[in-house]
Structure 1
Amino acid sequence: TIAWFHGFRRLRVRWERRDDIHEAFLGLATCLITHRHVQRLC
């Protein structure tokens, strides 16, 4: 599950200089993954 948050199943080098940008994309990835799982359950 951690791989999902860090690059959606792909290894990537993080080039962002600011941690808040990386953290924002992690939050967005979390929302997308959660939304997909909820859609499958309903």
Structure 2
Amino acid sequence: MRLKGMTEAAVAKELGIKDIGRLKVWMRKYKQQGEFGLVDTRGRR
């Protein structure tokens, strides 16, 4: 959505994300690592 031109606030509202900062972190990870950057690796070795 963000890559298609929606504002951060509009994306957050549509997805029910209350913390826009979290959305910014996800966008940065996606830009750096692609889809792999969004995979939850917590608790895995």
TM-score by length of 2: 0.40
| TM-score (norm. length: structure 1) | 0.42
Instruction: Compare relative contact order (CA 8 Å, sep 6+) and give the higher one, 1 or 2.
Output: 1
**Structure showing the higher helix proportion among its residues:** 1
